[in-house]
A and B are shown apart, each in its own frame.
Chain A
C-alpha cells in the first residue's frame, strides 16, 4: 500500500478536564472518500480543527504524505493542501460569487482571470455556479457549491466536509456526492466526509472511521458493511442491556416516592442499575420488581400492537388533580401483582394536552426547518425527542415558544388550536418552555432576578397597571426558596447568577405559571451534576402533577432516564417512536441516522 495522503497518529486533545480526542489515529488514502462517523461531541470536529491548524493537539503526530508536519495555523494547513468546506458558510452575502472565491487569496485582483478559473473549476467538477451572481440571491445548495469551488480553487490535496448535507435537499445531496466522487477518483485527491447519517456514509465513502467520546471505536471498509453494527458502534451501548435499563426505569417511575419522601436522584439510579454489567435482562430483577417489570413491558407491547400511535408504559391517574399519594398507592397495588388491573388510570387514556399535526416551517433564509412533524403528548407523560442536533429540535422548541410561524399544520393545546408565531400565544395557552438557549429566549440577563421570575406573568405581581414591589419581592422569595436558587440579592441582574441558577430561575418561572404543557429543551446542558439532577427531578415531578412534558434532548441517556415514550426527530419530522420499555438503542440509532427501522 502506498503512503497515506494524511495520517494522524495518537492525537490527544484535552479541554480542561474534558478529553475531546483520546489517542486518535486516522489514516486517509489518496483518492479515497473517508467517512468520519460519530454523534455530537464525539470529537470529530476537534480532530478536523487540528488538521486545519485551528487547535493544537496536546500529543500525537500528523503526517502528510509520509512526512511529519506541525500545523501551527490555518495558513500552514492551506500550504499543505488541506481545505475544509465549512458547516456554517463563510461567504459575504452582498458580494458576487467570484469575489467571494478570490477573497483572502492575496495577490493581484484580476477579474476576468478569476472568473475564467472559477468557470473551469466548476466545469471540471460539474458544479454549476454563476461567477457573477450575488451570494445573497443563491439557495443554500448553491451557496455550498460556491464554498466547495472556493476550496477546490486552491487545489487542495485533502478536502474536508463537515455535515455537508444538513442544509441540502436529497437531490442536492446526491449531486454533491457525485462531485466528491469525481474529486476523489479523477484527481486523486482525498476527501474526509464528516457525517452522522449512516446512509450517506454507506453510499458515498470508501472507508469509515467511527468515533465515540473522543476515541476511535471502529474502522471499516464501506462496501458490504453492516449498518446496524455501525449504528451500535456510534451510539455505543449493548442494546440488550439498554433495553433492560429502560424497563427498569419504567418501573421506577411507577413506584415513585411521594413528594414528601426524600427524593432519590432518579437519573443516576436508573443509569446505575441499567448499566450494571452481567444483568441479562428484566427477568433477573428481584422478584417483585421483575414481575411488574415484565408486565409493564408486555402491556406496552400489547398497546403497541393495537396500533395506538404512542402508548406509554406508565399507568397514571387520568386526573391531574389527584393526590400524589394516590400515585404511590397505585404503585403499591401494581407492585403486589399486575393482575389487578389499574382500571382507568393509564396514561394512554389521559387527555392529549399537546398535539402538533403536519407542521411545516421554513427559516427566513429559505431553509426548511420542519417537514411534516406530528406528535402528541398526554397529561402526565414525558415524551422524549431524541435525534442528532440540527434536525429540527430548535425549530420545535421555537414553535412552542411562539417564535416561528408554521407554513402549514396545526398546534393544539388542550384540544384547542393555538395560532403560531403570535407573541405570547403559546404561553397564554399554557405552554411553559425551558429553552435550549436560555439567554436567547428564556430570560433577560439585564433585568433583575425577581423580574426574571415573572416576565410573562407580570400581571400576577401587578395591580392597576403598576408592578407592586412588595408582591414582586414575595413572589421571588417564594420561588427562590422552593427551587433552591442560590442568590444573594433578588434585585441584582440575572447576569450575575451561575448557569445552573439561571436555569433554575427559568424552570421556576415556567412551572410557577401552572402550565399544562412543559417543553424542556436540552434542560441539563451546561449544568453540573447536582443541578442537572435537580432539573431532571423537577421534570419528573411536573409529569407526576399531570403536566404533559416534551423533553427535547440530544443526550440519549437523559431521554432514556426520563421519558415514558421516545420519538426520534430527523430532518424536521418524527422518524419513528416507541415506548421506553421497547426503546431499542440499535433501532434508535438507525432512526437518528436517518434509516427507517
Chain B
C-alpha cells in the first residue's frame, strides 16, 4: 500500500476512537444505573445488596465449577445468537427461537430414545435431528411467509406457543415420548432420560472445572458462519439481500432460497441449541427445557449488533448472569428478586446497543435524501 490510503486511514481513526470511547462510557453508565437500581430493589425488600451481588459473582466467576457453569450456560445462547445474526443479516427477523429450541430438543429426544447403534453415531444423529427439527419449525414460518405473505416476526413468534403445546402433548402420551411407567411412581410430564451413549461428553477435570462438549460445537458453528458471512459467496448474497432486497433480486439473489435458507439455518442453530441442552445436561425432554434460552439468545445477538464473533463474549456475559442467578436462588434469595436483578443487568447490557441502533436509524432517516 502506498502512503495516501494510509493517511486516509489515520484520518478516520480519530472519530472511530471517539466512537469507541463513547460506547465504553455508555456501557459503564448503563451498568452503574442498573447496579444502583438492583441495590435499591434488593435493599428495599429486606436483603443485603452486598451478599446478593457477591452470590451472583460466586455463582458465575469464582472457581472452576462456577466458570464451567457459565460456559455451559453460554453455549446454547451462542448457538441461538449466531443463527439470529445470520437471519437478521438476510433481512428477516426470526424471533421464534424459544420454540425452535424446544422442537429441536423433541426431535433429538425422539431419535436418542429410539435409534439403535453405536454411541457416537447415536449422538451425532441426535444432534443432527435436533438441528433438522429446529429448521423445519422455522421452515413452517418460511412457508407461511413466502407462500402466504405472513410476516416472519408474527409467524415465528406464534409458533413458539404451538411448540410448547406440541412438547406438552408429546411428554404426556405414553405412545409418544412420556417416560416409561415404573410401578408405584407417579408419571411426570417428561421423557425417559436419553441413553448414556447419546450424551455429550464432559471435558476437563482440573481441579473442578469442566465443560460440556457442546462448547466446541458452538464455537465451530460460530467460526464457520462468521467466516462464510464475511468471505463466502453465500454470505455475500445474504448481506446483499439484507441491505437491499430490490438490488439483490435484480442481481439474481432469490429471496426464497437465500432468505428462506437463512431463516431455516437460524432455526437449525436454535434446534441444535435445544439438542445441546438435552444431551449436555438435562437429559430428559421437559416442557420447561428451553428455559428462556431462545429469548436470551436473541438478546445476545442484539447486544452483539449482529456480529457473529462479538456474540461469543456477549454470550459468556449472559451465561454468567444465568449461572449467577441460579446460584443466587440457591442461597435463599427469592426467585423473583433474582429475576429482577438479572433482568436489570440484561437491560444494562442491551440498552447501549439499542440506543446506538435507534440513533443510527434516526440519522439515516434524516439524511436519506442526500
Whether B251 lies near A424 (C-beta < 8 A) is yes
Determine if B80 is an interface residue (Cβ-Cβ < 8 Å): no
- Are B234 and A447 in contact, CB atoms less than 8 angstroms apart? no
Fill in one digit per residue for A259-276: 1 if any B CB lies within 8 Å of its CB, else 0: 000000000000000000
Scan A430-455; emit 1 where CB is below 8 A from any B CB, else 0.
Answer: 00010100001111111100010001
Interface segment, one of A7-15, A175-183, A462-470: A462-470
Q: What B residues does A469 contact at CB under 8 A?
A: 231
Asked if A19 is at the interface (CB within 8 A of a chain B CB), the reply is no
B254: chain A residues within 8 A (beta carbon): 423-424
A428 pairs with B252, CB closer than 8 A: yes
| Interchain CA distance A440-B249 in the complex, whole Å | 11
Partner of A465, one of B233, B247, B251: B233
Within 8 A of A (CB), among B229-260: 231-234, 236-237, 239-240, 243-244, 246-255
CB of B8 closer than 8 Å to a CB of A: yes
Per-residue interface assignment for chain A, residues 400 to 414, with 1 indicating a CB less than 8 Å from any chain B CB and 0 otherwise: 011100000000000
- Look across to chain A and name the residue whose beta carbon is closest to the beta carbon of B240: A444
A325 within 8 A of B: no
Min C-beta distance of A183 to chain B, whole Å: 36
Q: Does A458 contact B (CB under 8 A)?
A: yes
B contact residues, range: 20 to 34
| Interface contact B249-A423, CB-CB below 8 Å | yes
On chain A, the residues within 8 Å of B237 by CB distance are: 458
Whether A423 pairs with B243 at a CB distance below 8 angstroms is: no
Provide a sorted-by-A list of 25 A–B residue pairs whose CB atoms are within 8 angstroms. A401-B249, A402-B249, A403-B246, A423-B248, A423-B249, A423-B250, A424-B249, A424-B252, A425-B252, A427-B251, A427-B252, A428-B252, A440-B246, A441-B244, A444-B239, A444-B247, A446-B243, A451-B236, A455-B247, A455-B251, A456-B252, A458-B237, A465-B234, A466-B233, A467-B233
Expressed in whole angstroms, the Cα–Cα distance for A469 and B244 within the complex equals: 22
> Measured between alpha carbons, how far is A376 from B240 in the docked complex, in Å?
32
Residues of A within 8 A of B232 (CB): 465-467
Contacting residue for A489 out of B5, B233, B234, B250, CB 8 A:
B5
B184 at interface by CB-CB < 8 Å = no
Q: A465-B234, A466-B232 are in contact. Are A440 and B247 (CB under 8 A)?
A: yes
Count of residues in A whose CB is under 8 Å from the partner chain: 31
Taking CB atoms, residues of chain A closer than 8 Å to B255 are: 423
Asked whether B247 lies within 8 Å of A458 as measured between CB atoms, the reply is no
B233 near A462 with CB under 8 A, answer yes
A17 part of interface (Cβ distance < 8 Å)? no
Does A459 make an interface contact (CB < 8 A)? yes
Contact with B along A488-506 (1 / 0, CB 8 A): 1100000000000000000
Measured between alpha carbons, how far is A446 from B241 in the docked complex, in Å? Answer: 12
Give 7 nearest A-B pairs by CB, closest first. Answer: A424-B252, A456-B251, A401-B250, A444-B244, A423-B254, A441-B246, A455-B251
- Chain B, Cβ-Cβ closest to A463: B233
Q: Tell me, in angstroms, the Cα distance from A403 to B8 when the chains sit together.
A: 39
Q: Which of B5, B232, B248, B252 is most buried by chain A, counting CB atoms within 10 A of its CB?
A: B252
B365 close to chain A: CB less than 8 A: no
Instruction: Enumerate chain A residues within 8 angstroms of B246, measured Cβ to Cβ.
Output: 403, 440-441
Say if the beta carbon of B4 comes within 8 Å of chain A.
yes
CA distance A242 to B4 in the complex (A): 49
**Pairwise interchain contact A458-B236, C-beta atoms closer than 8 A:** yes
Given that A445-B244, A447-B240 are contacting pairs, would A458 and B250 also be in contact in the complex, using a CB cutoff of 8 Å? no
> Closest approach, in angstroms, between the C-beta of B15 and any C-beta of chain A?
14
Chain A: minimal CB distance from B8 (Å): 5
Instruction: Tell me the nearest residue of chain A to B239, going by C-beta.
Output: A447
- What's the minimum C-beta distance from A123 to chain B, rounded to whole angstroms? 39
Of A428, A455, A465, A467, most buried by chain B (CB within 10 Å of CB) is A455
Among A444, A451, A465, A488, max chain B CB count under 10 A is at A444
Extra inter-chain contacts (9) besides given A401-B249, A458-B236, A465-B233, CB under 8 Å? A403-B249, A423-B255, A424-B250, A424-B254, A441-B249, A445-B244, A447-B243, A458-B233, A467-B236
Chain A residues lying within 8 Å of B243, measured Cβ to Cβ, are 444-447
Q: Interface digits, B251-275 against A, CB 8 Å rule (1 contact, 0 not)?
A: 1111100000000000000000000
CA of A458 to CA of B241, assembled, Å: 14
User: CB distance B250 to A403 under 8 Å?
Assistant: yes
Least CB distance, A44 to chain B, in whole angstroms: 22
In the complex, chain B residues whose CB is within 8 Å of the CB of A455: 240, 247, 251
A428 to B4 alpha-carbon distance, docked (Å): 38
B320-363 interface bits toward A, Cβ cutoff 8 Å, 1 = contact, 0 = none: 00000000000000000000000000000000000000000000
Name A421's closest neighbour in chain B (CB-CB): B249
Known A-B contacts A445-B244, A467-B236; the reply to A489 vs B251 at CB < 8 A is no
Separation of A447 and B247 alpha carbons in the complex (Å):
12
Closest residue of chain A to B255 (Cβ to Cβ) is A423
- C-alpha spacing A489/B8, complex, angstroms: 9
Q: How far is the CA of A462 from the CA of B247 in the complex (A)?
A: 20
Smallest beta-carbon distance B100→chain A, Å: 26
Q: From residue A339, how far is it (CB to closest CB) to chain B in Å?
A: 48
0/1 interface trace, chain A 475-491, chain B, CB 8 Å (1 if under): 00000000000001100
- What are the residues of chain B within 8 A of A444 when measuring CB–CB? 239-240, 243-244, 247-248
A428: chain B residues within 8 A (beta carbon): 252
CB distance from B244 to the nearest CB of A (A): 4
Cα(A401)–Cα(B249), bound, Å: 8
Q: Is the CB of A443 within 8 A of B4?
A: no
How far is B233's CA from A446's CA once the two chains are assembled, in angstroms?
Answer: 17
CB-nearest residue of chain B to A451: B236
